[in-house]
Amino acid sequence: MTTLGAYTHSVESIQGDHRHLKARLTWLHDQLASAGLTSGQTDRELAEMEAELEEHFTQEEGGGFFVAIIEAAPEASEKVQELLRQHRQFRTTFRALRKTCRWACGESGTRAGWMAAFAEFHRAFDDHECTEHELLYEALQRDVGAAD
């Protein structure tokens, strides 16, 4: 069995995570944008989202996902390093968003600034996941080719 094949379970579970996180983040963004959550609900939702993101990043970093991609496509190494750097950045950014999430329920320009920061996180996270899908697709193609 080739390397990536050995991680089929991990790859499927990460793809499932991506669908789930994408849907959850979009739902949360919509709720925040329409001021549909109370301050307490916002606190809880941001804390849950942070925990899910942390679980996802940890799984990608420790579950062999990136290792398998680099083994199948060694030239992807630099892109993987960049993805790992982005994980660190996302952790810092989301922690700050969670700690200041009451601003999302305020009325002043603080709310607009907080929403802009959340939108930027959402956009960067979507880009990140897209890059992971592209890398995974390329590595899987390579893996299938190597198995022929």
> For Fe ion, which is the closer residue by CB, 13 or 100?
13
* Residue at token pair 């989202």: 49
In whole angstroms, the minimum distance from the beta carbon of 9 to Fe ion comes to 16
Restricting to residues 105-134, which ones interact with Fe ion according to CB under 5 A? 132
In whole angstroms, the minimum distance from the beta carbon of 83 to Fe ion comes to 5
Restricting to residues 59-88, which ones interact with Fe ion according to CB under 5 A? 60
> For Fe ion, which is the closer residue by CB, 48 or 127?
127
In whole angstroms, the minimum distance from the beta carbon of 25 to Fe ion comes to 12
The span of 36-44, 56-64, 67-75, 112-120 binding Fe ion (CB under 5 A) equals 56-64
Helices (H) and strands (E) in the chain, counts: 6, 0
Return d(Cα 25, Cα 48) in angstroms, integer: 11
Return d(Cα 69, Cα 76) in angstroms, integer: 7
Return d(Cα 31, Cα 29) in angstroms, integer: 5
The number of residues that bind Fe ion (CB under 5 A) is 2
> For Fe ion, which is the closer residue by CB, 32 or 69?
69
Return d(Cα 14, Cα 50) in angstroms, integer: 17
Return d(Cα 3, Cα 30) in angstroms, integer: 40
In whole angstroms, the minimum distance from the beta carbon of 18 to Fe ion comes to 6
- Where on the chain is the footprint of Fe ion (CB under 5 A)? 60, 132
